[in-house]
Structure 1
């Protein structure tokens, strides 16, 4: 039985394919179109999934879409019109999106689809992707994003082959939209710059915490957005907000201490409220496990905050927690909750996207007049290149799912060299200098640097580094003494593990600086041409493509 999961028309369109409950392929449309967060119908991703299974759309048994167009939309439209002030233009814009969603089955049928079709409520898709990809047979589940059809925060209890909704909070009362508004206020773009706000926060102090908290009417068990401060339909924040907190920063203006403190205050509010939801879930479910997902769960600092409170024994953060992951969630929800199938599902790794091939890479490199070399000791040679201060583009095997490079589409550098951070930010990534970089560390060595055995395979949590290790790896330590760490086990990614093992043998440092292989504003590179063009148009020193060593 083949199940095709889809997400489209909002942002981060994607497709996932299951065969008898096991993942065959997954792809995000932006990786093909090169348009970051591309919302268009994911035909490229669908075709990739079908090709991986050697089937046609006609052979799909079930298709599931990660939005339900009739799920509590009327209350959201009314609130948009009356409370948020979007008016008729906003309603027309939203209505057009939902008309596209209503027509999804018809779009598929025009191209040969003959199977059953299901709409899956958006937060159900988030919850299913997280819970069914975890190793838990039972777990509390927390979903927090900007907004689904109407829900903004959802609490579930997952048991074996079903997820049960416990509580929901609705638009416009949204932690995700609150943080997006702060993102816009600080001069960054919502749905893209929230990570920048997270990176800014440790530079400041939460001096505006009490005043900002009043904007949310926070209490232990509930919260409300004061819409006199926020306008999610237009400018995100109102003149009243600016009167309280000062004029908004315009893009490219200098970042001041005031901006650092605004970010720190918003971050503290976010962390505390997420923790309140965790406490509520623990009280209701009495579970030892927590699955946490939705776009807000990409905030690594907040994840560390709730993990450090230890309300649960085990935490699982889904790597594709944003909307791109809901295509997989829709497929899994259809398989488990709708069709009541009980087959075991195993999420063994994250490398489900298009692969790069050595032959094609060599041909393209020659067309661009690049030098190509094959090596019998690839990992040792590249480890030496990195240890000598060179910066390497690393494009191997299949693309990872999610927004973060986990060792197959990465830019790699030496974490020991303090100047590397500025070089990568300014000359290669071309992004703001305050943004930190992550280390990938051999899992067995992580306790020596982070004083915990907690695995972090998907780079979803910051951890404080041991003080005596800060000067050893300064280019991956943020201003607050934390690292957004990826712990790596051999079976997760053998080639990447071998490279870091060789680097460890050369330097006695069991980690490497790892950042996504892309420039600011672009998606991760996906295929051979993406990586070669990115290499040519940047100051990268070396490109490793499908095992080939390529230089200019």
Structure 2
């Protein structure tokens, strides 16, 4: 069986996922189009990512697929009018495919499939919270079991996702920049003169219709101009507090409606790691799970897994976060030989890289298949010591070129995470923000945010391979098994994908060294 999941809508984050079962062997690949066309949040038809995913699972053309699953955003009738078919024919991608193999599914159902079928749970409540879905849904609740995923209720009322987007744009951060608002929020304070959101909560509804104008995301009433850093921070503080309030309400509703022990959260709002931690901390559920591609980057995964499990797929398979294409040794060597300006270190390269980190140098890391979603999980990462507070500013000035208020995330050995952070369970995908223990905030100041928290990734050898060894040896040398980890890119560019992308970014910035698999590149 070969299933191809595609996401192509009028908005953003197009991509593909291929799932194959052949002779009992399960294989999967997933990639966002932006990683190949190098356009941040790409809207292009996912032709290149689809072909890369098909090749990764041993196929060569979409005609080989048993099923091709897509989501629909605006409404299904537009596709019936051949709008989508024309889009496909423009790139001649599905021209030879038997049209009976193509199926369109609801956008929120695709979200639900992406999170539940990649979770460790056999039964769970599934909350989908985003901007807009297929038939204008903003928030949906599903109940998922091994027998399938059933919609309980949904709403098209303006929800917390659209509110957060509206305030983000009022702050002048622009489309799809809600992560900046979350980072700015701890710098703000309660300002009763600024906003009155007027949210009405009723079941799955958190309605802000009196505040937002749908579609344009403009603020629908007058307010004080956000003409200073302090007012922007107060606005971010306000919408973050409202987000936490709304998400806790939705979590309680999910518990009441399903009685489930476990909760899956997905949709763009599920990237709000602060709200996720509040839900976990509430004790409503024994555990929660958020897929690292919770935003629309995960829709192709949901489409492909929907097709796989509804059309004959067998036992649930464990889904790694590292689903990008494989790059051969020959491709890596070819990329290294294309450029100059660096020393090539092959012997004891990893040890040399750890020496550099311990000496407070900036080291980029390229390993294996790229991670899904918008956050680097060690395979396409820039690493630095967390021990000096000024490293945040150093990294910003030399490499990232982003706003100074935005925090950097830590990675930590999972078996030692509770020594440094107030967390009692794995946190593998940077989707929870626990407090840094008070006595450790001066030890790891580069990854401690202004409110004393950190967006955490816990690392194991089984899940993260050599990254665990790097952390362990760094910990032996410094006494602190923690590293600062940020995505391997510069502002307004996608995370690097290929070896060539990695070396271009390395040479175009002030990164000190690049560890590309087991080869270290040191600038001359």
TM-score class normalised by the smaller sequence: over 0.9
Residue among 206, 210, 213 paired with 1:223? 206
Q: 1:325 aligns with which of 298, 313, 319?
A: 298
Separation in structure 2 between the aligned mates of residue 69 and residue 465 of structure 1, nearest angstrom: 42
Matched ranges for 1:159-178 at <5 A: 159-171=145-157, 173-178=158-163
Cα contact 2:140–2:204 (8 A) shared by 1: no
Q: Distance in 1 between matches of 2:402 and 2:73?
A: 37
Secondary structure in 2 aligned to 1:158?
A: strand
What secondary structure sits across from 1:66 in the alignment? strand
Aligned to 1:65: 70
Distance change >3 Å, CA 209–CA 115, structure 1 → 2: farther
Deviation at 1:492, TM superposition (A): 0.7
Among 248, 253, 263, the alignment partner of 2:236 is 263
Q: TM-score, normalised by structure 1?
A: 0.89
Q: Displacement of 1:284 after TM fit?
A: 1.1
How many equivalent pairs are there?
515
**1:342 to 1:532, Cα distance in 2 relative to 1, 3 A:** closer
Q: Is the 8 A contact 1:147 1:174 kept in 2?
A: no
Task: Give the distance between the partners of 1:392 and 1:51, measured in 2 at CA.
Answer: 31
> Offset of 1:505 from its aligned partner?
1.2
1:346 aligns with 2:331: no
1:442 to 2:413 alignment: yes
Residue 42 of structure 1 pairs with residue 49 of structure 2: no
Distance 1:209 1:134, change over 3 A: farther
Could you say which residue in structure 1 is the equivalent of 2:445? 474
- 1:483 matched to 2:468: no
* Equivalence map 1:361-400=2 (5 Å): 361-400=332-371
Deviates more, 1:47-56 or 1:179-188: 47-56
Structure 1's 34 and 68: CA in aligned 2 closer, same or farther, altered over 3 A?
Answer: closer
Q: 1:87-122 CA deviation, whole Å, 9 max, x = no partner?
A: xxxxxxxx7998543556765441445661110100
Q: 2:284 aligns with which of 301, 311, 326?
A: 311
- TM-superposed CA distance for 1:272, in Å, is 0.7
CA RMSD after TM alignment: 2.2
2:31 paired with 1:27? yes
Q: Which ranges of structure 1 fall in alignment gaps of 5 or more residues?
A: 74-94, 250-254
Equivalent in the alignment of 1:157: 143
Q: Are 1:205 and 2:189 an aligned pair?
A: yes
Q: Is the 8 A contact 2:365 2:381 kept in 1?
A: yes
- Which residue does 1:7 correspond to in 2? 7
Alpha-carbon deviation of 1:498?
Answer: 1.1
The equivalent residue for 2:110 is: 125
Q: Residue 301 of structure 2: SS of its match in structure 1?
A: helix
Deviates more, 1:490-499 or 1:444-453: 444-453
Compute the displacement of 1:537 (Å).
Answer: 1.1
* 8 Å CA contact 2:226, 2:232 repeated in 1: no
CA distance in 2, matches of 1:113, 1:546: 41
Q: Which has the higher helix share?
A: 1
* Residues 195-228 of structure 1 deviation map (CA, whole Å, 9 limit, x = unaligned): 01000111111324994232x334676432234x
The 8 Å contact of residues 290 and 315 in structure 1, kept in 2 or not, is answered as: yes
In 1, Cα distance between equivalents of 2:193 and 2:486: 31
SS of the counterpart of 1:156?
Answer: strand
TM (norm. structure 2) is 0.93
Compute the displacement of 1:54 (Å).
2.5
Match of 2:215 among 227, 233, 236: 233
Closer/same/farther in 2, CA of residues 466 and 68 from structure 1, 3 Å limit: closer
> 316-325 or 59-68, which moves further after superposition?
59-68
- Deviation of 1:529 after TM superposition, in Å, equals 1.3
Taking a change above 3 Å as real, the CA distance of residues 342 and 2 of structure 1, as seen in their structure-2 partners, is: closer
Is this contact kept in 1: 2:139–2:204, CA < 8 A? no
Alignment counterpart, residue 137 of structure 1, candidates 122, 131, 136: 122
Matched, 1:413 2:384: yes
CA distance in structure 1 between the aligned counterparts of 2:203 and 2:231, rounded to whole angstroms: 28
Structure 1 residues 277 and 210: alpha-carbon distance in aligned structure 2, compared to 1, 3 A threshold: farther
Q: 1:469 to 1:235 in 2, by over 3 A?
A: closer
For 1:210 and 1:310, the matched residues in 2 are separated by 32
C-alpha displacement of 1:61: 0.3
Structure 1 runs (4+) greater than 6 angstroms displaced: 95-98
Please say which of residues 176-185 and 370-379 is displaced more in the overlay.
370-379
Q: Is the 8 A contact 1:127 1:143 kept in 2?
A: yes
Alpha-carbon distance change, 59 to 443 in structure 1, aligned in 2, over 3 angstroms? same
Deviations along 1:211-248, whole A, 9 cap, x unmatched?
Answer: 4232x334676432234x4223336224x2xx33x124
Deviation at 1:355, TM superposition (A): 3.3
* 1:294 to 1:235, Cα distance in 2 relative to 1, 3 A: closer
Contiguous gaps of at least 5 residues in structure 2: none
Partner of 2:18: 17
